[in-house]
Structure 1
C-alpha cells in the first residue's frame, strides 16, 4: 500500500513513517516545513533503511495536492498536518480554522477527485474538554474548550458528513492523549520551536540546561501529590496505532472512532522524578498558580482500541523517559536547522518563499 502522510516530517508523522515502512508500505511525505525539519526525511531513511518520497507542499494548496495524487498512486491518507498549540489557538483562532478546518476540507476534496477514499485522521482528546469522569470513553460527550479543540471536532463532523454523503469512504478518527518520548534509535524525536507546549519536552530541556526550571501549574488537585494527572503515550505506540487503525478501516468500511492512550495516569511530579532517575540529575521546579481550564485528571479508556484494533501501548513511563533523554542528549538543538529542505523525491509543491509564509502547514 502507498500511504500519503500529511505533516509527514513532524514529530508524530516521522515516527509513523518509520512504522509504515517497517510494515512494508510505501510512504509519501507532504509537509511545508513551517514547524518541522526536512532533516527528518534523512533520519526516516536512516532508521528504516528504506527510501521515502518527500514533497514540500501545503494541504490548502489544491494544485499541490493534485500534483501529489497525479504523480503517486496513493491508496490511503494519514492526515496529521495541523496547528496544535492550545494557547496559540486562543490568540489566533482564524489561523487555526484556516489550517485545520479549511485545509482538511481541501484535502478530502482532492482525495475524492482522485478516487482516494481511505483516511486516518489525527484528532485529539482535547475535544472531550472537562469530562465528568475518567477514564474517558469514546461515548463521553464532546465539549471542546479551545479554538484548537473546536477545529478538530469540526473536522470530525465534516468527515462523518462526508461518509453519510458517500458510503465508499473508510475513515478512522483517532483521539490522542499525550504523545511523548522519541524513537529508541535516538535519531527521531520532537523538535519544538520556541517554548515547548508539552510537559516532557520541557523537562528534557531543563535537564539539558537549556531552561532554568520547570513551572508546575498547581499542587492542590485531588490527586496523589496534588499535581495534575495525564495519560502519557509513547510516540512509537501512537505511530503503531495509526497502522492498526488503517488495517481496521480496510476491513471495516464506515467511520471508526478510537481513543489512543495507555489507560494509566501519572502526575506531573511523578513524571519529573521518573525523568530525574533516567538522566541522573536534579531538575529544578517551582509550584505556580493553576492555569484556567486545566483539569485534575485526564486518562483514556482504551478498551475499544484493544478490542477492535488489537492495539495496546507497550512502553511504560521509564521507557518514555529513556528514549526522550537519548534524543535530547544526542540532539540538544533538535534537528538543528532552519526548516530548509535538504532533498526531495517526486513532485514539488509551490515552494516560493512568499507562498510558504502565506500557507503554513505545521506538522504533527
Structure 2
C-alpha cells in the first residue's frame, strides 16, 4: 500500500481526493494548517471510508517543520499539493499574502520531494493560468497570458517553478491539473465545501443565501458579452475532480507519463453562466433565490470553459456529473450542516 501525502487535505477538493485515494487502497497522510478548514472534516472522511487518514497540523511556510515532516515520512511515494490561498478577490487586495503562501510553500515541498525515493508530484493548478483566452473551449495549447489576478499569477509561476525543476531533475515527475470551477459535495453529505467566514466562491454563497444565512447574493456584472450578461464558467463536480487527481497520480506511479512534466485541463467542457447556476439551484431546492446585480469585480474574466479532449483520451478520465447533480449535492450538504 503506497503512502500518499495530500497537502491541504482537509480543504474542499483535498478532502474529496483523500476519500478517492483511500477507496483505491492508498494510505493517506494529510497536512493542513486549518486556516481555511476544520479538523472535523477528518470525521467525515473516516465515516465515508472507514479508514482514518494520518493527520498533521503544519504550516508549510515553516521550512524547518516541513523538513522535519519529511524525515518522519521518508516512505511517501507521491504528493498531491492543494495547500494554497485561492480567492481571486482577496488576492487582488492582499497580493503579498498570496505570493508568500502559494509560492514559498511550493518551493519547500519540491525541495523535499526530490529527497524521496519516488518523486511524484500532482499540482493543483487552475484555468486562471490562461487569463481571458482568445477562443473557447480552452485547450492546453492556449497561450498563458498575463494573469488577471495575483492568485492566477501564483498558479502560472507555480507551473514555471515545477517545469524548471523537472527540467533540472529528471527524477521528478509532475502533472499540473488545470481545473475549472469545482462545486458540489460528496453524495453522502458527510463532506463538502465549508468556507470560513463569508464565502469567496459562487455556489456556497448561493446555498448559504438559500439557507437564510445571507440576505442576498450579489451577481457581479450583468453587462458581459454573454447570452444573459453574466460571466460563464465551467463548473465541475468535486468528486469528478477528485477522481482525476487519483488517475493522474496512478499515471506517474505506473510510469505512463510521456514527459516528466505534463498539463491537463480538468472540467466538463460545458460553460454555464452565473444566472444558469442560480436557476439550477432554484430547480433543485424548489425555491426562488434572492439575488441582485452589482458592478463587475476586478480580476474576473468574461468566459472560461475547458476542452477536455486531452484528459479524456490520455488520462482516460471524464466528468460524469451534471450541473444539476452538483447543485443538488451542494444543497443537501448545506441543509445537513445547517440542520434544515
Q: TM-score, normalised by structure 1?
A: 0.89
Give the structure 1 partner of residue 82 of structure 2: 80
1:291 aligns with 2:313: no
Give the structure 1 partner of residue 20 of structure 2: 19
Measured in 2, the distance between the counterparts of 1:79 and 1:90 equals 23
Q: Secondary structure at the match of 1:123?
A: strand
Give the structure 1 partner of residue 213 of structure 2: 210
Measured in 1, the distance between the counterparts of 2:165 and 2:250 equals 20
Give the structure 2 partner of residue 48 of structure 1: 49
1:90 aligns with 2:92: yes
Give the structure 2 partner of residue 271 of structure 1: 277
Q: Count how many residue pairs are aligned between Structure 1 and Structure 2.
A: 333
Give the structure 2 partner of residue 303 of structure 1: 309
Measured in 2, the distance between the counterparts of 1:120 and 1:126 equals 17
Shift in Å at residue 66 of structure 1? Answer: 2.9
Match of 1:231 among 223, 226, 234: 234
Shift in CA distance, 205/322, structure 1 to aligned 2, threshold 3 Å: same
Measured in 2, the distance between the counterparts of 1:292 and 1:69 equals 39
Match of 2:126 among 121, 124, 127: 124
Give the structure 1 partner of residue 29 of structure 2: 28
Q: Secondary structure at the match of 1:27?
A: strand
Measured in 2, the distance between the counterparts of 1:226 and 1:272 equals 14
- Kept after mapping to 1: 8 A contact 2:114/2:172: no
1:167 aligns with 2:170: yes
Give the structure 2 partner of residue 340 of structure 1: none
Q: Secondary structure at the match of 2:263?
A: strand
- Kept after mapping to 2: 8 A contact 1:126/1:149: yes
Give per-residue Cα distances to partners, 1:173-202, cap 9 Å, x unaligned. 011100100011001011111221111111
Measured in 2, the distance between the counterparts of 1:200 and 1:51 equals 29
Give the structure 2 partner of residue 70 of structure 1: 71
Give the structure 2 partner of residue 348 of structure 1: none
Please identify, of 144-153 and 181-190, the stretch whose mean Cα deviation from structure 2 is larger.
Answer: 144-153
Q: How does 1:138-149 map to 2 (within 5 A)?
A: 138-143=140-145, 144-149=147-152
Measured in 2, the distance between the counterparts of 1:108 and 1:289 equals 40
Shift in Å at residue 93 of structure 1? Answer: 1.4
Match of 2:288 among 278, 282, 285: 282
Shift in Å at residue 116 of structure 1? Answer: 4.0
Give the structure 2 partner of residue 183 of structure 1: 186
Measured in 2, the distance between the counterparts of 1:221 and 1:59 equals 39
Give per-residue Cα distances to partners, 1:128-168, cap 9 Å, x unaligned. 11111111111111121111111111111111111111111
Give per-residue Cα distances to partners, 1:50-77, cap 9 Å, x unaligned. 1210001122223322333233321000
Give per-residue Cα distances to partners, 1:5-31, cap 9 Å, x unaligned. 000111111000000000111100001
- Kept after mapping to 2: 8 A contact 1:175/1:260: yes
Measured in 2, the distance between the counterparts of 1:148 and 1:52 equals 29
Shift in Å at residue 125 of structure 1? Answer: 0.7
Give per-residue Cα distances to partners, 1:213-251, cap 9 Å, x unaligned. 111122233323222211000000110010111122232
Give the structure 1 partner of residue 264 of structure 2: 258
Measured in 1, the distance between the counterparts of 2:30 and 2:4 equals 9
CA RMSD of aligned residues (A): 1.4
Measured in 2, the distance between the counterparts of 1:214 and 1:312 equals 31
- Kept after mapping to 2: 8 A contact 1:9/1:31: yes
- Kept after mapping to 2: 8 A contact 1:178/1:230: yes
Shift in Å at residue 293 of structure 1? Answer: 4.0
- Kept after mapping to 1: 8 A contact 2:132/2:303: no
Measured in 2, the distance between the counterparts of 1:261 and 1:78 equals 18
Measured in 1, the distance between the counterparts of 2:293 and 2:233 equals 17
- Kept after mapping to 2: 8 A contact 1:62/1:110: no
Measured in 1, the distance between the counterparts of 2:64 and 2:297 equals 42
Measured in 1, the distance between the counterparts of 2:142 and 2:338 equals 40
Please identify, of 163-172 and 243-252, the stretch whose mean Cα deviation from structure 2 is larger.
Answer: 243-252
Q: Secondary structure at the match of 1:273?
A: helix
